[in-house]
Amino acid sequence: MRLEAVATGDSADRGVGSARESADRKAGPAEELYGPDGTADGTADGTADGGVDPPDLKGLLEQELQELAIELGEPAYRGRQLYSWIHERGVDEFSAMTDLPARFRSQLTSGFRVSKLRQTERRESAEGTAVKFLFELPGIGHVEAVLISDGDRRTACLSSQVGCPLDCQFCATGKMGFRRNLTAAQIVDQFLELGRYASERQERVTNVVMMGMGEPLLNYDNLVQALRIMRVEKGPYIGGRRITVSTAGYVPGIRRLADDDLNVGLAISLNATTDELRSQLMPINRKYPIAELLAAAADYFRRRGRRVTYEYVLMAGVTDSDEDARRLADLTRDGVCKINLIPYNELTPAPGSGSPEEYFRRPSDERVDKFREIVALRSPHTVTLRLSRGRDIDAACGQLYRELRR
C-alpha cells in the first residue's frame, strides 16, 4: 500500500490517502469501450447526490487494515482486530468494536465507514436449491446475488455492476443499461450476506462465481480487490481455487487477468459458434470476435494453469441446432477446457413490450439432451449441463429486478 496522501476532497487533511485510494476504486474501462455516456454519473461509490463518501474499510485486505492502523498511530494488530470485526464477525459499526481503544474508534468514526448493502428482498426457490437476494443501492438501483445448493456445494453467484453496458440481447441485465460499478466492498458484502444466511443454517459458502449482474472485467480494479479479499482462506472466505470469473468476452480484461497473480477460474460466455450470430446476440463480439476470444482463453490456461470453462446458453431455434453442437465441439477442440451447457432461462417479458427477449425460448428437454450428446461425442472435453435451479424465483441475471419494476 502506498503511503502518500491523495489531495482530493477532504482526504488530505486526514493523511490517509492510501486507504482512501484503495477503498475508492471506481469507474473502469467501460468508459474506454462505451464512452463517458455509458458510465455512471461520476459520483463516488455510495451517494446518489454527488457527495463523497469516506473510505470504506470493508474493501480493504487485512494487510491494508494493518497499514491503516499504523498510519493512524496504532499498532498493526489493531488492523487485524478490525479485519476480524468486519469480515469474521460481520460488525459494521465502529462503536460496537469493543476491544478497540476509544480514541482509535473515534478516529475511525470521523474518517471512515464500513458500508453495508441494504437487503430489500430474499426469495427461496420451492425446491430449496436456490436463494436469491436483492440489494438496493439507494438512488442508483438494485443488484442481486444467488446462493445455489448442489450436494455439499454452496455457490455464491455475485454481481459486479448495477446493470451492464454490454447489451447482450437475451440477458435481462443488458436491458437495464449500465448504472454503476460496484465497489470492492459491495462485491465482498454480497458474499458476507450470503455467508451469514448459510451460517444460520450451519452451512458455509464453498464457491464463488461472478455470474450475477454486470460484466466483471469491465469493473476490473474493484473486482480484483474483492477477489484478493475472498481468495484468502480465512474467516468466511474460500481461496482462489474455488472462485470463477465469468466474462462475455472482454479480451483486454482476460489478458489483464492472465497477467495478475490471482489464479482464479475463468468462464467465457460463448453462446454462439459463428461471428455473425454472436455479434448479433452479444455486440461485444464485433470488437473481440470468436478467434481472438479463444486465443485469449488459451493464453489464460497457459499462463495460469486453470482450465477455462465455456458457457453456452441453449436458445430454441437460435443456438441449439445439430450444426451448432458440432461447431461448438470443433471450436473448443484445442486446449484444455470444459463446456457447460445452460438451457435458457426464459425472461418474463414486460407485457406488450414486443421487446426481443420475448423471442428467446428454452429448447425442449429432448433437444437439450440431443445437443449435449452431439457435443459430448465429438468433443474431447468434459461437457456438463447446468441443471435449472431456482427457475421459480427467476434466479438468472436481473430477472427479479425486472419483476419488481413492473
Task: Assess 74 for contact with ligand SAH (CB under 6 A).
Answer: no
* Binds ligand SAH by CB under 6 A, chosen from 74, 311, 320, 324: 311
Site for ligand SAH in 204-223 (CB under 6 A): 211, 215
Spatial contact of 270 and 289, defined as CB atoms under 8 Å apart = no
Instruction: Report DSSP letters for 196-220, one per residue.
Output: HHHHHTT----EEEE-SSS-GGGSH
Stretch that binds ligand SAH, among 75-83, 132-140, 196-204, 246-254 (CB under 6 A): 246-254
State which of residues 104, 135, 170, 197 lies at the interface with ligand SAH (CB under 6 A): 170
> Cα separations (Å) of 365 from 42, 141, 144, 316, 326?
46, 35, 28, 11, 19
Ramachandran angles phi, psi of 229, nearest 5°: -70, -45
Query: Is 171 tagged catalytic?
Result: no
Which of these segments, 80-88, 188-196, 226-234, 244-252, binds ligand SAH (CB under 6 A)?
A: 244-252
Catalytic residue among 74, 144, 311, 346: 144
Q: Is 397 a catalytic residue?
A: yes
Which one among 57, 171, 224, 243 touches ligand SAH, defined by CB under 6 A? 171
Burial class (CB in 10 A: 0-12, 13-18, 19+), 99: exposed
Show contacts with ligand SAH in window 319-378 (CB under 6 A).
342, 344-345, 347
b/e per residue 171-195 (b: at least 16 CB within 10 A): bbbbbbebbbbbbbbbbbbbbbbbb
Query: Among 248, 254, 262, 395, which residue sits at the site for ligand SAH (rule: CB under 6 A)?
Result: 248
Q: What is the dihedral sign for C-alpha 188, 399, 169, 138?
A: negative
Shortest distance, CB of residue 161 to ligand SAH, whole angstroms? 9
Q: Which of 86, 185, 397, 400 binds ligand SAH (CB under 6 A)?
A: 397
Q: Determine the residue type at 200.
A: E
Contact residues for ligand SAH, defined by CB under 6 A: 170-171, 211, 215, 246-248, 269, 271, 311, 313, 342, 344-345, 347, 396-397
Q: Which residues are catalytic?
A: 144, 397
